[in-house]
Amino acid sequence: MSVYEHQLLKVDEDRFCQKKLKALQQHYGSKGVKYYSLVHNGVKFNEHVGVIQVGGLTIEVLPKVDQEGEKSNASWKKGLIDMLTEVGHLKVESSEFAGLKTSNHSLLDLYFELFIFEMEKLLHQGLTKKYRRTEGNVKALKGSLNFTKHIQKNCFHKERFYVNHSVYDKEHDIHAVLYKALLLLQKINSFSGLHSRIGALVLNFPEMPDIRVSSAWFERLRLDRKTQAYHKALQIAKMILLNYHPDIQRGNNDVLAIMFDMNHLWEQFLFVSLRKHLGVGYTVERKKKNDFWEVKGKFKSQLEPDIIIRKKCESDKEEIVHILDAKWKRIKSNKPDIHDLRQMFAYHHYYNAEKTALVYPFSKDPKISLGEFSSYNYECSVLQIQLLDEDEISVSDWQKRIAEEIGKWMDVTLFPKQFQQPLSIQ
């Protein structure tokens, strides 16, 4: 099932039954979740996109900023996958997965297949061994003798020694986490095309003890030269394990939710696109915090522009600063929200910016509306960037076009005739 961000999903007999709604209500709980809210007899999604699996039902939440019918589900799905790939949330490098992008398979199937592909690759390369400490009865004295347990267990077995010693094998935490994710995949996967590959992996991967997985474990994890090849598999395992919520009451309506804030994704995508394609002489920075206001010794407020573009002047002593603020929403009547404009005014003043702009997605031709804050000569524009066209050759072409549009805006003077009417804010 595919829905769009901000869409209302009501219970009906065919697609979304009362039992699935109850599972989502249970998952919502008393604290709530970030990606949907509860309404009468249904749920309402917000600006988060991605995929939610409830029991046997998979709900794909796609981005959308155009009018009804302007772009197809497949087009929005392809755009989402391309954006996730470019910002690093989804590493798609093999042509094996190209068919999944526009097929009837869900985004979750793509994540599962990527995990399986990485696990198969690790098995083919050979699993890494590590040293670990263990204890037990052995027939040759090695390590350190645990005298108390040796007396308890080997009073009548003088040929044995109860020792603490090191073992060099494949049983370590990284493999335990991957094995846990693999067993979970075997349980929740609903795509028949992956069943046999998952089964083969479970048979060929060495059995591991269960391990308690938390976000803290992944934060502490440090990969070295020998374990760097595990990075992609661990990334996907983290997404699967930390976003899985079992149904502890009945056990048949487990919830797996892999969701992304579309505002953050749009901002990340713009940043990556500009850093790749803006050209020589520009420095692109993201989310750079600066103290703005504080009460001494108590708390402070900070300014944090989405994207800062710096360009060295010819004198090489000063630099020109442009600031962008990304907004994933459809702007109405070419009029930004007043709170967004106040924020841009603060950026302009604090960073001594040459220009600032609010950057919105747009499904048709790109638009640049040049505006200023009256009485201050601060230029603040509205940029509407064209989304990926269905006939576009690749996401790289889309990114180049984005960089060209931003570059064009940085080069133009205020209010030239070829652009639209200026946006003047009192």
CB 354 within 8 A of CB 413: no
Residue with tokens 């772009």: 71
CB 402 within 8 A of CB 267: no
User: pTM value?
Assistant: 0.80
Of residues 342, 351, 379, the one with CA closest to residue 290: 351
Residue with tokens 């093999």: 94
- Strands of the sheet with 42-45, listed across from one edge: 8-10, 42-45, 36-39
How many DSSP H helices and E strands does the chain contain? 12, 21
For every residue of 283-328, DSSP letters joined together read EEEE---EEEEEETTTEEEEE--SEEEEEE-TTSS-EEEEEEEE--
- The 3-state DSSP class for residue 245 equals strand
What are the backbone angles phi and psi of residue 46, rounded to the nearest 5°? -115, -140
Radius of gyration, alpha carbons of the chain:
27
DSSP symbol at 203: H
Tokens of 127: 């699993």
User: Other CB atoms closer than 10 Å to residue 222's CB: what's the count?
Assistant: 6
Q: Is 14 left (phi over 0), alpha (psi -120 to 50) or beta?
A: alpha
- Per-residue pLDDT in tens (0 to 9) along the chain, 426 residues: 888 899 999 998 667 888 888 888 888 888 888 899 999 999 999 999 999 988 778 899 998 876 655 566 777 788 888 888 888 876 655 444 444 555 567 788 888 988 999 999 999 999 999 888 888 787 777 777 776 777 777 777 777 888 887 888 898 999 999 999 999 999 988 888 899 999 999 999 999 999 999 999 999 999 999 999 999 999 999 999 999 888 666 656 788 889 999 999 999 999 999 999 988 888 999 877 777 666 776 667 778 899 999 988 776 667 889 999 999 988 877 788 899 999 999 888 888 888 999 999 886 777 888 877 877 778 888 999 888 766 656 888 889 999 999 998 988 755 443 443 444 443
Residue with tokens 């001594």: 352
Of residues 49, 9, 51, the one with CA closest to residue 256: 51
Of residues 414, 423, 415, 406, the one with CA closest to residue 309: 406
Q: One-letter amino acid identity for 318?
A: E
Q: One-letter amino acid identity for 322?
A: H
